[in-house]
Amino acid sequence: MADYIRTTKAELDGLDDEELIVRVANARQELFNLRFQLATGQLTNNSRIGALRREVAQLLTTQRQREIALVEEYYLAQLQEGTG
């Protein structure tokens, strides 16, 4: 299990899309493992679950912001071409 290091918005903005997807997958996998440890009574640091949930939320928010920005760019380009 990796030690928790809080990721800043600037760091998330600096990631490319593939790295963001990988981080979401890794964080979700770790969250699953922590929940399993909690269920079996092996978890020693309960606060890590909350921290990971926040991290997943931040990553997904960054992903969604990028999706929205792409759609906005597309529609703005369509409006400028006059085909919108």
Summarize pLDDT for 19-35 with one digit per residue, the tens. Answer: 999 999 999 999 999 99
What is the structure's pLDDT at 84? 54
Q: How large a percentage of the chain has pLDDT more than 70?
A: 90
DSSP for 16-51 reads: -HHHHHHHHHHHHHHHHHHHHHHHHT--S-THHHHH
Q: Is the pLDDT of residue 1 over 70?
A: no
Average pLDDT over all residues of the chain: 90
pLDDT of residue 8: 84
